[in-house]
A and B are shown apart, each in its own frame.
Chain A
Amino acid sequence: MTQMTFARAINAGLRKSLENDPKVILLGEDIGTLGGVFRVTDGLQKDFGKHRVVDTPLAESGIIGTAVGLAYRGYRPVVEIQFDGFVYSAFDQIVSQVAKLHYRTQGAVKMPITIRVPFGGGIGSPEHHSESPEAYFTHTSGLRVVSVSNPQDAHTVIQQAISCNDPVLYFEPKRRYHDKGEVDESLDPRTALPMDTARVLTEGTDVTLVAYGPLVKTARDAATAAADEGVSIEVIDLRSLAPVDYATVEASVRKTGRLVVTHEAGQSGGLGAEVAASITERCFYHLEAAPVRVTGFDIPYPYSKLEMHHLPGLDRILDGVDRAMGRPNSLSGLEG
């Protein structure tokens, strides 16, 4: 076991993949000499060479489009999109090509492309640097979408994503890059918890609280705070956003009877809506209250001075828990 930061853990995972498979190739802006603006690829070009760790021209559609060609040729491209807000430039290549080629060719062509996207807010950045675009991709069939929440998972899941024969969007919570945690580098990604499986982080009996990526830490803190107030929260780290591991969430909700989902992305059409609807369909008769979403607002990501109002914090999550529990909350006295 080694203590390392989130960013370092991904770096170590990328290194292993580069070592284990000569077909793995990294592409992106500033990922070589600079080691990426977040230093996630630090030192990799020095050790693996410019043909394996490629500084690309400043062209996102070009990066993904050429990754498609490399995949046709049998490579496993791992692409870095520098910031969430720049993935839209590559949107057409991702949803029209990357996502659909396997299906369109009736399985003949594989697209084992991993697209790393540092995402989410909370770091005081200017506009286009704090987006949570995951729902655009979970809405697109053919893509796998994951988000990691701790260094160990970051390390293991990046390797699982790279060895997966489907395209994977790998969302990295950038405000957690410097958080440290224990990482067992010897853990075999093939026998570790598969990346499409959710994990129960803290067991509880009163409410199921579902989170992913940057908000998992906040959700755990909320569970600790709630325990002091006598409320027992079961926290689930969703890990895979597409497909969602509903079996794990469903089992938890059958036990607790209450569901709260939290994410930074806006509420409407977000993943929380999908989880709430699916769980309602699957275990309506086990629910004791309507599912609650605690999310960002339906606004463009605000300027940094006010971003903490948009992002769900511990108190907003607890307020949501109170709503699910029928305890006094900020909306008491209102319908819904």
Chain B
Amino acid sequence: MIVVAPKQKSKLKDFKDDFWKTKDVKISLGEIASIDEIAEEKREVESSRVEGPTPKPNITDLRSWDMKLMGRYEPFYAPFCDMCCLCTFGKCDLTNKKGACGIDAAAQQARMVLLASCIGSACHSGHSRHLVDHLIEEFGADQPIDMGMNIDIQAPIMMTVLGKTPKKLGDLKEAMDYLEEQMIHLLSSCHTGQEGKSIDFESKALHAGLMDNLGMEIGDIAQIAALNLPKGDEDAPLIELGVGTIDAEKPVVLCIGHNVLPGAGIMDYMDETGQEEDLEVCGICCAAIDISRYNPQAKVVGPISKQLKFVRSGVADVIVVDEQCVRTDVLEEAQAKNTAVIATTDKICLGLPDLTNEDSDRIVSKLVNKEIEGALILDPAKVGEVAVKTAKILSPERKTLKMLPDLDEVQKLASECTECGWCVRVCPNGQPMMDAVVKASEGDFSKFEELYTNDICYTCGRCEQECERDLPLMSMLAKVGEKLSKEEKFNIRAGRGPAQDVEIRRVGAPIVLGDIPGVIAFVGCSNYPNGGKEVAEMAKEFLERNYIVLTTGCGAMSIGEYRDEEGKTLYEQYSGEFDARGLVNMGSCVSNSHVVGATIKIANIFAKKPLEGNFEEIADYILNRVGACGVAWGAYSQKAAAIATGVNRWGIPVVLGPHGSKYRRLYLGRADQADSWKVKDLRTGEVMEGEPAPEHLLYAAETKEEALPVIAKLCIRPTDTAKGRQIKLNNYMDLYKRYFGELPPDIHLFVRTEKDIPITYKKDVQNILKEVGWEPRKVAQEPSLMGMDGD
């Protein structure tokens, strides 16, 4: 059993009253401690008093927790590839065989998940390292970390994992150092001839996920503290969102990626030179969110699905790429439209000359005169100056390039289609591109419009690469959608950063007891099976049902691109408060850390669980008591894999869209195996029957209609009060009945006593319970996996 009691590092001697009678007492004056040393000792004792068992855990320190999770949620593998192609022993076919190194298919899948999690984690953490180093250089290591008036728990992940609270920017370096050390060990495990068992690869993947969560927190805290982004502000401003909000008459600078620094440099230069109104600065992906957190004048074009369409539209005079989620052919695409490209970080150099130390005007001259294909500039301030100056020069001469081929030309191109159908076969979603082209050849563009609307086609461009006639299908789509894009004018609430402690204090009890039926986080990318509308519809469904809905990144943008019957976006309809019916945009990808952070804060603020170095107890609390569920309906990247794996380790289940099955591994529970749901009641020490709550830890749903009831179900937790359980079951039953026509067949598993039965379904549920021979069961007051087998 893991003991969370304080560890006293130095123990004072127990002197009795008859001390002076004690024989053989030796006093050495040289050993008398100074006042400073005593103070230090006191600090150490203070610190040790609250430190849990695993400060700065190494790879195997949380292994026992991972094994408990996997005891319930056995990894489910769906190989994407039957072979291992990593080393020169192979290729090895692992179909019911081992590889030349001895690895089997399960271990290989787990290794690929570990690798993906390491890549994703490195992506966020490399980004954070860049931010921390740059911001320390600019603001100094002593720049205080102040997350706002109502936020005392400034870094819940860092506190829990490292056992320390960062007070100033310089403190973040220690966290980065720890994280980087762990990442080296994790990545090394992927090497041929190292780890051999799938469950240990899994444990390491979970650790990589945890490092990812930590890295994201470091990054967002650094930028919030140094760049003064909103600090848990429920009234963060509304930002303009959508292609239609961009004034193409002005010089346009488009930022793509995730790192705020170059975008901030652009905004600063515009401010300093009084050109705020003269240019349009807009962004795609998380850079857009973070730049608009920095300066609300920046506009958000939209999620990653807008990338190729918008670049092809030629609206941007200058494209500034930073890191992550940027099309790797961005330079080629931009050149076709005479758009200048500036690369700005070491992660994406695009083969461009490093002109960081070059005079700004000379760089501008080289760019506008086409002496260079683009420029690599690693100084954000210089990026700002060059981007603005270049855009202003290029804009007038690019007027004609901001127009796509006219519709007659689209029709003419479409008439060349041979109807081979390969555009549909290579489409990740099998969308009917050929039908759209055939119709367009007849002058009917409605099918193209259907593909354009809500990014049903997310413009990966695979169809174009396959077309035997080399039809520019994405440009044709962009042209047909041009008219529609003018109407794409929405509002998104700027990313507010973390939940305030006072908000957590207010909602902690209702969440843990079940009165607020759940906290659902819509995160992830935009490779949706049927466009972004489904994400917004899911968010709306849960907002109407009184859940707290969190969101970040591309998910936040997709939600913002939807209008309800009254023509309002959900951000205009619902408050940004961390409370029931709140739609809380926490920010960009790195702000996903605040989703986890909120659940950790619940454990601390509501349940008084100490955080420092106390991962397992906190995760156990979250798993058993905090009804949170992540939804990554369009998860596409290794970053999304890392995020999900990390939040899973904290005990938070995640539902993926159907593409999520390509991550190769899920964590599925077995409701039919009663033994796997046993819990220990910490109040009594009794090990007792549990319930499949949450039933799965990582799940891929095939359709939205399947996902909705699953999400509601995964918010059920063993500690729900009877009233809370009624509310949760009512939602689950409602949604299941809507799409399946009857009540869920597993409802008896979640009814502990008659009091749990929702009043509206009382008779029906009672009949089901009778049919299956249900008996009421004892409810654990403090359900836990701590102290169970494996400790």
* A, B in one complex: no
By a beta-carbon cutoff of 8 Å, the part of chain B in contact with chain A is: none
By a beta-carbon cutoff of 8 Å, the part of chain A in contact with chain B is: none
